[in-house]
Structure 1
């Protein structure tokens, strides 16, 4: 009878172990880091590739390539990949809902993985920053950006998620901002953007390993001096 009781106890522990492992995405240990969800904003399709409004997609692509992450799945209306950055699990997403409905993808992704907004970073274009200058922030408003507005809406009105703002500069003269956003970069601007995206990779690697506060402080200080240099060149 005692042997049977021991076997029953072992069996019960095995079932409990299996159930726990199913609930944990990466490991059953409580010390494993919580994943980050990086969401790049843009419009799907060849028509929009390389345009100013799609630099959020570009940031995801550069980040994925630099860390060997395959963007080979469709999940929650997004082109999706998962991997590790500095030994921290990350999810990379490019919503395919078109820019103004980005939250229809990002909201369900955050809910599916049960991630707090403090583990989400959105990448998007910003006309208020010079071309190729970036900023990493822990929260903010929508800045009249319809993609960010959609994220906030689908996060139940909560705007306390991080953002990597990617400067694209302002439209020249009286040019319509909408037309400017959907234009492709000229060679000089494309070079500045490509350099900025590589700098963004470094910032996100630091974010994964050391957290948002330290990475934002170091990165934004560097970008502030870059901003000054760019302004000097343009005047």
Structure 2
């Protein structure tokens, strides 16, 4: 299927629907015949949503199920994992972009390429274990992150409980993690934009990464836009490894176990 949309530019971006995408397979788990594929490619206005096709779902059709074992649990629903930041080279490696950095670390660890421009974001699709995931880095600049995140959630009809947003937090000590099931924006403009795009809903999990507060009289805006120094980057490497593990546990074992893991990290560090 060919779709057209704009990404911060008057130049339209064309995208052909990837039928091998974990997201397309999960939300449209039935198989298309060769003739149907050709029809949908040749006629870009053809819509899956508007189609009157009502195929029967079977174990064989599911991309994650095994037809030999009917007692196996059903396939996992897809997750959207969003890292917040500002696009552009001058913002690379800055405190306000730690959400981007965490998503990049997850992508590298799980072998997912985040290089497709769509929905005003760079996105990548793959799996963590047997859970289909979409990684996203909004390219709207921080204050308008909701334009991208809201569109992704709406288009793919992702339940909010399966949307994880990762962002920097001034109120947490540097390099510390905190996983919450929901909450407000806490003064973070990126989170404020996302909540606004969801009509005020705050019921989605978030992974906060502490960047600490500036010392002395340094302005907060200048502080969050400063790059990390060498020692800070080394500390963050350990934090990212913790974050990768926390995300894996979240997707595969549930929120409570992941939160326990994150909290146990704090307890161990306090004993040192």
- Tell me which interval the TM-score lies in, with the shorter structure as reference length: 0.7 to 0.9
Equivalent pairs, count: 212
Of 183, 188, 204, the residue aligned with 2:226 is: 183
1:129-164 deviation digits (Å, cap 9, x = unpaired): 111111111011111000000010001100111010
1:171-230 deviation digits (Å, cap 9, x = unpaired): 01111000000000111111111210111001001111101122112222223443x36x
Greater than 4 Å deviation, 4+ residue runs? 24-30
DSSP 3-state at the match of 2:126: strand
Of 122, 126, 139, the residue aligned with 1:83 is: 126
Matches of 1:167 and 1:220, distance apart in 2: 14
Of 54, 76, 94, the residue aligned with 2:97 is: 54
Q: Is the 8 A contact 2:82 2:103 kept in 1?
A: yes
1:39 corresponds to 2:87: no
1:13-39 deviation digits (Å, cap 9, x = unpaired): xx643x869xx9956999211111000
**Within-5 A mapping of 1:50-129:** 50-129=93-172
1:156 corresponds to 2:199: yes
- Mind listing any 5+ residue stretches in structure 2 that lack a counterpart? 1-52, 67-72
Post-superposition shift, 1:87?
1.0
DSSP 3-state at the match of 2:77: coil
Matches of 1:99 and 1:110, distance apart in 2: 18
Q: Is the 8 A contact 1:206 1:215 kept in 2?
A: yes
Q: TM-score normalised to the size of structure 1?
A: 0.84
| Alpha-carbon distance change, 225 to 141 in structure 1, aligned in 2, over 3 angstroms | farther
1:52-103 deviation digits (Å, cap 9, x = unpaired): 0000000010000000001121121000001000110001000000001000
Q: TM-score normalised to the size of structure 2?
A: 0.73
Of 195, 210, 221, the residue aligned with 2:253 is: 210
| Alpha-carbon distance change, 25 to 115 in structure 1, aligned in 2, over 3 angstroms | farther
Q: Is the 8 A contact 1:124 1:165 kept in 2?
A: yes
Matches of 1:138 and 1:27, distance apart in 2: 27
**Worse overlay, 44-53 or 204-213:** 204-213
DSSP 3-state at the match of 2:192: helix
DSSP 3-state at the match of 1:129: coil
Cα RMSD of the aligned pairs, angstroms, is 2.1
Pair member with larger Rg: 1
- Mind listing any 5+ residue stretches in structure 1 that lack a counterpart? 1-14
DSSP 3-state at the match of 1:173: coil
Q: Is the 8 A contact 1:132 1:194 kept in 2?
A: no
| Structure ranking higher in helix proportion | 1
